[in-house]
Structure 1
C-alpha cells in the first residue's frame, strides 16, 4: 500500500498536479509524503505546497529516502533531471514514468542502475478524476510494485494494463483522444449556432448529447454501429447527416488523425533511442 510510502515527483506541470490532487483527495497518502521538484520555477513549487500541503524539494539528496519516484517532467528534460539525482537512487525504489515516447530501457540507462520501473500514459481528464491510464510493467518489478502503481493511478480515474510496445498506440488514441473530442465539440457547437441556436444552448445540447451517447455505449455494451443504425430512420434527418459525413470521409479523417499521432509518437521514441545508443554507457547490472 502506498499509504505508508514516500513519493518523490520530478515535474510540477498540470499532469503532476492532477496526480497530487487525486492522491490527496482520495486519501491515498498524506500531503507531506509527497516531495516535488521541478527544473527552475520555485514559485510553482510554493504554489503546489500552499494548495495541497506537499513538500517542495530543494535538496536533491532527499530522493534517497523516497520509496517511489514519479517522473512527470517533459521528455526532453529527462536526462537533465535524472543525472543530478542518480547517485541517490537505489534498487529498493520504484520508478514510475509518465513521460511519452521514452522507453523504460532508456530511463534505466539514464539512471545507470536496474531499478523496478513502470511506464504509464494518463490523459488530461485526470484533472477531474476521469483519466484512463494505461500502465506497462517493466523489469525488476514485483507484485507490490504493480499494486502500488495501480493504487496511485486509480486516484485519477481508471487503469488498463498494456505491453510497453503498445504505449505509442495508447498515446495516439487515449492520450491525444480528448483533443479530438474537443475538436468535434467545437464543430457541433458552431453548427448549432449557424442554424439559429444561442451559443449557450448549442454548447449545452452538444455536451449532454456526447455524455448521453458515451453512457449508452458503456451501459448497453452494444457496438456503436448498432446504436447508430437504431436512430437512422430511412429518409430521416440522421441518415442525411451520416450520408454527408460519409461523403466527407469522416471516419477516414478520424482514423488518419490517430494514425498520424501514432506515427509521431514512434518518431519521438526512435529519436530518444538513437540518443541512448550514441551517448549512454551500457546499463550496469552487477551488484554495487
Structure 2
C-alpha cells in the first residue's frame, strides 16, 4: 500500500517518521513538498521516496494532505484530478471541511478529515477523525490505523471538529504556556531554571498519568491535593481571583471560532 504525504512540514515529516517506527516499508512511503529542497531533506532523512506532487499522487492508495490550510485550494486545483477513484484522501489541515475537499476531488472519492496534534512527535497525539460522504468503512479503518501510529484516535461527526481543534488540536500550546509560567515562577522563587523545569514537567506528567490511570474526575483529584487552609487552596484562590478558568474558556471559544472561520472561507 503506497502512502503519499503532500507537505513535508512538521506534521508531514512527523507522520513519515511515525509510520516507519510502526513498521511501514520505506519503499511504500512517498513525500512531496512545494519546496523541493524540503522534499529532498525529509526523503533523505527517513529513507523514503521524494517526488513531485503529481508523481507522488500517481498510483497512491492513501494521499495525506499535510499542507497549510491556505495552500489547500491551489494544491487540489493543480493535482486533485490525479487522485485515484479507489484512493483514500486524508486531510490533516485545520479548518478544511470534507465538503471543501470533495468538491475539488470529484464524486465518489473517500475523504477523511483529521485533527491530530503535535504530540505526534512522541507518538502521544490525540487525533479526531470525521468521514466524508463517500468514505467507505474500510477507508475509515485505514485512516484510524494510520493515525494510530502516532497516538490515540477517535471518530466523530464533523460538526464537532471546531471544538476538537480548540481542545486537542491547539491544546499543547495552552499546556506549554502554563508550563512556561510555572517555570518562571520557580525561577522567581529562587530555583535554578533547570530544576524548575524538571519539577514542572514531571508534575505535569504525573498529574496527567493520575487522571488517565485512576479515571477520576479532575475535580476529585484537585480536592485530594487541596487541604483546608493549605498552600494549594491559597494558590487556587488567586487563580480564581484572576479569572484563569474563565480565560481558558474564552481562549478555547476563540480557537473554535477561528477554526469555523477557516472552514467558512471555503
SS of the equivalent of 1:65 reads coil
Deviation (angstroms), 1:143: 2.3
| Larger radius of gyration between Structure 1 and Structure 2 | 1
Residues 134-159 of structure 1 show CA distances to partners (whole Å, capped at 9, x for unaligned) of 01111222221022101100111110
Q: Distance in 1 between matches of 2:185 and 2:220?
A: 25
Matched, 1:36 2:34: no
In the comparison of the two structures, how many residue pairs are matched? 266
Q: Runs of 4+ in structure 1 displaced over 3 angstroms?
A: none
Residues 67-105 of structure 1: CA deviation (Å, up to 9, x unaligned): 111111011111211222233223211111111111111
For 2:117 and 2:236, the matched residues in 1 are separated by 29
Return the offset for 1:34: 1.1
Distance 1:78 1:204 in 2: 40
- Could you say what the CA RMSD is over the residues aligned between the two structures, in angstroms? 1.2
Q: Is the 8 A contact 1:135 1:161 kept in 2?
A: yes
**2:197 counterpart of 1:197:** no
Taking the aligned partners of 2:249 and 2:127, their CA distance within structure 1 comes to 21
CA distance in 2, matches of 1:104, 1:201: 46
1:45-88 Cα offsets, whole Å, 9 max, x none, are 11111111111113714523111111110111112112222332
Offset, 1:192: 0.8
Could you list the runs of 5+ residues in structure 2 that have no partner in the other structure?
none
- Kept after mapping to 2: 8 A contact 1:61/1:88: no
Aligned counterpart in structure 2 of residue 23 of structure 1, from 19, 26, 29: 19
- Alignment of 1:14 onto 2:10: yes
CA distance in 1: counterparts of 2:243 and 2:107, whole angstroms: 50
TM-score (norm 2): 0.97
Distance in 2 between residues matched to 1:216 and 1:86, nearest whole Å: 45
Q: Is the 8 A contact 1:188 1:206 kept in 2?
A: yes
Match for 2:115 among 112, 121, 131? 121
Could you tell me how far apart the structure 2 residues matched to 1:59 and 1:266 are?
28
Which one has more relative contact order, counting CA pairs under 8 Å at least 6 apart? 1
Q: What does 1:89-168 correspond to in 2, within 5 Å?
A: 89-168=83-162
In structure 2, the CA distance between the partners of 1:188 and 1:61, relative to structure 1 (3 Å rule), is closer
One of 261, 265, 270 as aligned partner of 2:264: 270
1:188 aligns with 2:182: yes
Q: How does 1:164-183 map to 2 (within 5 A)?
A: 164-183=158-177
Q: TM-score, normalised by structure 1?
A: 0.89
C-alpha spacing 1:69/1:130, structure 2 compared with 1 (3 Å): same
Q: Indicate whether 1:51 and 2:45 are aligned.
A: yes
Kindly indicate whether residue 202 of structure 2 is the aligned counterpart of residue 208 of structure 1: yes
**In the superposition, relative to structure 1, how do residues 59 and 72 fare at CA in structure 2: closer, same or farther (>3 Å)?**
closer
Gaps of at least 5 residues in structure 1 are: 273-288
Alpha-carbon contact 1:9-1:35 (below 8 Å) kept: yes
**Offset at residue 112 of structure 1 (A):** 2.9
Q: Secondary structure at the match of 2:265?
A: helix
